[in-house]
Chains A and B, each alone.
Chain A
Amino acid sequence: MQNKKIFLPLIILAGLLIVVLIMMVMPEERFVFNFKDNVGQWQTSPGTKVRADDDAIALRRANNNFIVVMPKINLGAENYDVAIIDMKQPVAHGGGRLFFISPYNQRFQHNFSLPFDTGGADKFNRIYIDLKRHPAWKGIIRALLIVPATNSDKMSLKSITFVQSNPWTKLRAWMSDFTRHYDPKLGTCFAMASPIFLGKTFNMWFIPILWWLLAIVLLILVIDHFSEIDPRIKRYSILVFFIIFLMLWGVLDLRNNVYYLKAMRRNANLYWGKTLWEKKGINAGDKEYIKFMRFCDENIPKEGWIYNFVPWELPGTASRYLSTTQFYYNMRPDFKRLFRKLEMEPKPYYVYYKPKDKKIKTLSQEQAVLSTSVDILPGEELLQGIRLWRDLKNLEQVSFISKSDEKAGVSILDEKRDKVIAKGKYLKKEKDRVFYEIVPIKKYGRNNPAYIRIANRGERPIDIGISYSTEYDEGNSIIKGKKDNRDLTFRLDYNTKGLKVFKKYNEEAFILTE
């Protein structure tokens, strides 16, 4: 009896081993695209430095665009269900992507791509990608594009192999998907995706099964309540449910533990040994930006009145709403309200970074958050409190979000809202943003409170974009005659006349002052 107890696990283990060996030796078809041997059949992004390195190519990033394209691969999707990339990167467990062009798309697009985990750092990893997981992997695949992890400044590529896989290779691709590490993005604090299991999300596989099992168990309990059945039926049905539940839970937790191991490896690789500012630069996706913020903090006097003209749409940043890209969350806070309370008039400093127009013809002040819209009916108006960041004479235009074609009456009012200090003249509409040129009537200084007035003098409602965010603190809004907690989504554009450079970090980053 004891011998049976010893032999049984051994037999099961041996059986599993045999099955795995059979899976491994089953035939499969492979098409290997070796990068070093196929020069001319692939391209990199402009400026990328390329050199041959043993049996691989070594690439070094030049700018934010770091890709490798195989523009005429012409692969039959039905013949290959797994891709294996042989790649080396200096950062562990980064998130790369494989883009493809199939009969369903004409250009490389995010939703026609497959993510992958780049594996351990500074060594060649064989990265398995389950191609069939994507529903558009069909027909002739005309072109492929590999994007390495965004934190990597260099990578080495040996080959990409397309495989008509045997069960073992397929299993490896599935495991790769299941345990894929990905950096949490901004939205992760709201929700986390279910891991991919055999081509579908884990929850979509098993939640319906668990609900059915639970329903059966509950049915048994109900039957037992009304007419007693064999208690073993009740007990075993409950046991079966919980055993299955615990098995699934165990598989999921095992996967989570692998994810945590990878995360710790990545953290050690990416962040350890770096200063806080270097880490912030990595996180913001723009190391130069963080260095520049530091430069501003060190050079602008502590009583400086800082106007932040860092554009929302920075390259490499996570989201236009992410506070970490903005000055006040990275360095010193905004003390404008304190200065007003103390009746101080510090010198203004305008912080500018990577302006789209390098000649800086305008400085933009905005409340950019857009949550919803409000309909302003004929005869009604919306007033938004503002503080001018420059003298009124320098204000050139105001814009806000509206889908209506109806023209509004736009003007700027003084603090008491009884005098018009500037009139607005309709200029243009670009997408949903409506622009009005501002013609000052009276003199009005910087930092003084004022109001943007948008009045509906027409016959049809005008919808105007507004925000629920409580971030904006330079004035209140009055919508349809009532004070409102919401704020207008707007932008004020000033000219740069009279401004001079206070300090320059580089050609794209500087501090201006009056």
Chain B
Amino acid sequence: MLYFFDKGKKLGSFENLSLSYLIGQGALTLILFWSFFFPFKFRVPSISIVIFILFVAFNRFSFVPRIKTGLRSLQTKNLIVVMLLVLIVFKLVYAFVETGSKPGYSWDASGNWTINSKIYYYVEKNFNDQVSWAITNTNNYPKMISIMHYWLFSWMGEADDQWSNIFFPLSLLCFIYLFYLNLFRARRDVGALFFTYVLISTPFYLYHSTIGYAGLSMSIYLSLGAIYFYRWVREREENYFWMFSLFFAMTTWLKLEGKTFFVLGFILLIYFMWRENMPDKVKRIIKYASTYIVIGLPWQILTIVSQMPSREKLAFHLKYFVVMHHKVYYLLFLNGTWGIIWIGIIAAMLIFYKRLFDKNNIYLALSLVLFYGIVLFAYLMTYDAYFYLESAFNRTWIFIYPLAVFTVGCIVPSWKELTNGKK
């Protein structure tokens, strides 16, 4: 896919690899989803062979990769850089060890995601002609996570719901690299590494890469959508527009909330095109919408046609406005889940507000504001979301957390500038 989108070959090898993994996860699960409507044996090996052939045909990797990591520019003799790298690696090691050690024990991981995967796996094994039934007779949640588990079960030869979680820390690893790379392009200093370390330092965030919840994946796709939008705005390369569109579209294949995030991306696009007075606005919108039509819309249509039970309906609970904000304050600042990061984020945005509203960073700020609007909408105006003030509400902030850290990384000046007052 990246072969087609990155015609100018602007992506470095490791960036290509990381993007391939994340976009590939979405694409692979879509292919498998469509294949479920055709009962055939050896589904997973067949699809694997086709993908391998395509990979070989369009391979962009040599065995001596062009290492455009951005890490070469770091002075590794610098003790701070070494320390930060060690800390980041240590935390990633923890994520992998935790995932590789413990079987699943959390509610949503078992009850929403892996149970569906097991249904596909066992139905295919025992009632192969009923696989399409399996897809429409599980919950109405989009299927990227479930089908990814199914893919891994098939390769492992058993429904091992512990090792199938390994794609979460792998996603985190790819994301950490992309986060650092894009922030480095914005800052051009060691601050990019520092903020990458800050991102991964929040225990709640790191923990969510080990428990099989979809929160981390959603945060990755949403954040990368906004980050690549930001990069497209700054560098105006077409491949970044496609990265932005793809990542936002893939949020709709990940969780129900993805639809609102796709609209968030759409608003960013409209605002940018209006502000810059871009030509071919309609063509651009069609390109953006096409990613949803290919990725998210089929599932949406299927849920409607199959009359899958859904709680997606409007119901107003505006009287909970104050309660909700009280909860926001308590969860983000007081109870310890997020440590003290959010006060740092708020402080940075208030102190460096001028930088927040500059020509390019304005889009990051807008993303954060729109996200907040989505949260208000979801918890105050939909069917029963406000009941989740005691459970899912805290996890909702995981979605925007990396983008908030990225935004702070873009606006906080370098240490030299802070201490000397000079750039």
Contact call A214/B130, Cβ cutoff below 8 A:
no
Q: Does B123 contact A (CB under 8 A)?
A: yes
Which residues of chain B come closer than 8 Å to A322, judged between CB atoms? Answer: 105, 107, 110
Query: In the complex, what's the smallest C-beta–C-beta distance from A284 to chain B, in angstroms?
Result: 8
Q: Does A338 contact B (CB under 8 A)?
A: yes
Instruction: Find B207's partner among A184, A217, A324, A338 (CB 8 Å cutoff).
Output: A184
Contact call A333/B115, Cβ cutoff below 8 A:
yes
Q: Does B127 contact A (CB under 8 A)?
A: yes
Contact call A191/B98, Cβ cutoff below 8 A:
no
Query: In the complex, what's the smallest C-beta–C-beta distance from A351 to chain B, in angstroms?
Result: 17
CA distance A276 to B101 in the complex (A): 9
CA distance A283 to B106 in the complex (A): 10
Contact call A214/B335, Cβ cutoff below 8 A:
no
Q: Does B35 contact A (CB under 8 A)?
A: no
CA distance A189 to B111 in the complex (A): 14
Pick from B235-243, B262-270, B338-346 the stretch touching chain A. B338-346
Contact call A323/B110, Cβ cutoff below 8 A:
yes
CA distance A192 to B332 in the complex (A): 11
Chain B CB within 10 A, most for which of A184, A190, A231, A322:
A190
CA distance A221 to B351 in the complex (A): 8
Contact call A272/B101, Cβ cutoff below 8 A:
yes
Contact call B126/A302, Cβ cutoff below 8 A:
yes
Interface size class of A (residues with CB under 8 A): 35 or more
Overall SS of chain B's interface: helix
Q: Does A312 contact B (CB under 8 A)?
A: no
Contact call B137/A332, Cβ cutoff below 8 A:
no
Q: Does A241 contact B (CB under 8 A)?
A: yes
Q: Does A300 contact B (CB under 8 A)?
A: no
Contact call B101/A260, Cβ cutoff below 8 A:
no
Which residues of chain A come closer than 8 Å to B314, judged between CB atoms? Answer: none
Query: In the complex, what's the smallest C-beta–C-beta distance from B27 to chain A, in angstroms?
Result: 26
Instruction: Find B347's partner among A214, A279, A328 (CB 8 Å cutoff).
Output: A214
Contact call A329/B395, Cβ cutoff below 8 A:
no
Which residues of chain A come closer than 8 Å to B203, judged between CB atoms? Answer: 192, 256, 259
CA distance A264 to B336 in the complex (A): 22
Contact call A279/B162, Cβ cutoff below 8 A:
yes
Instruction: Find B340's partner among A252, A268, A321 (CB 8 Å cutoff).
Output: A252
Q: Does A299 contact B (CB under 8 A)?
A: no
Which residues of chain B come closer than 8 Å to A231, judged between CB atoms? Answer: 421
Query: In the complex, what's the smallest C-beta–C-beta distance from B241 to chain A, in angstroms?
Result: 35
Q: Does B201 contact A (CB under 8 A)?
A: yes
CA distance A141 to B102 in the complex (A): 39
Which residues of chain A come closer than 8 Å to B133, judged between CB atoms? Answer: 338, 341
CA distance A292 to B387 in the complex (A): 36
Contact call A323/B340, Cβ cutoff below 8 A:
no
Contact call A333/B340, Cβ cutoff below 8 A:
no
Q: A214-B347, A471-B111 are in contact. Are A279 and B103 (CB under 8 A)?
A: yes
CA distance A267 to B87 in the complex (A): 20
Pick from B40-48, B61-69, B89-97, B287-295 the stretch touching chain A. B89-97
Q: Does A194 contact B (CB under 8 A)?
A: yes
Contact with B along A293-333 (1 / 0, CB 8 A): 00000000010000000000000001001111000110011
Q: Does B211 contact A (CB under 8 A)?
A: yes
Query: In the complex, what's the smallest C-beta–C-beta distance from A256 to chain B, in angstroms?
Result: 5
Q: Does A248 contact B (CB under 8 A)?
A: yes
CA distance A162 to B311 in the complex (A): 56
Instruction: Find A283's partner among B105, B204, B335 (CB 8 Å cutoff).
Output: B105
Within 8 A of B (CB), among A223-274: 231-232, 235, 238-239, 241-242, 245, 248-249, 252-253, 256-257, 259-260, 263-264, 267-268, 270-272
Pick from A119-127, A204-212, A441-449 the stretch touching chain B. A204-212
Contact with A along B213-254 (1 / 0, CB 8 A): 100000000000000000000000000000000000000000
By beta carbon, the residue of chain B nearest A189 is B106
Q: Does A201 contact B (CB under 8 A)?
A: yes
Q: Does B118 contact A (CB under 8 A)?
A: yes
Q: Does A186 contact B (CB under 8 A)?
A: yes
Contact call B335/A193, Cβ cutoff below 8 A:
yes
Contact call A207/B347, Cβ cutoff below 8 A:
no
Q: Does A50 contact B (CB under 8 A)?
A: no
Rank and list the top 4 A-B pairs by shortest CB-CB distance, nearest first.
A194-B336, A267-B101, A323-B110, A260-B94
Binding site for B on A (CB under 8 A): 184, 186, 188-195, 201-204, 206-207, 210-211, 214, 217-218, 221, 231-232, 235, 238-239, 241-242, 245, 248-249, 252-253, 256-257, 259-260, 263-264, 267-268, 270-272, 276, 279-280, 283, 302, 318, 321-324, 328-329, 332-333, 335, 337-338, 341-342, 371, 468, 470-471, 485
Given contacts A207-B333, A210-B347, 13 further A-B contacts (CB under 8 A): A188-B207, A189-B108, A192-B203, A210-B343, A214-B346, A218-B351, A242-B418, A256-B201, A260-B94, A272-B101, A322-B105, A328-B115, A342-B130
In the assembled complex, 16 residue pairs joining A and B whose CB atoms fall closer than 8 Å, in A order, are: A190-B394, A195-B336, A201-B336, A203-B335, A203-B339, A214-B343, A231-B421, A249-B344, A279-B101, A283-B105, A322-B107, A324-B110, A333-B118, A338-B123, A468-B384, A485-B309
Binding site for A on B (CB under 8 A): 87, 90-91, 93-94, 97-98, 101-108, 110-111, 114-115, 118-119, 122-123, 126-127, 130, 133-134, 137, 139, 160, 162, 198, 201, 203-204, 207-208, 211, 213, 309, 311, 331, 333-337, 339-341, 343-344, 346-347, 350-351, 383-384, 387, 390-392, 394-395, 418-419, 421
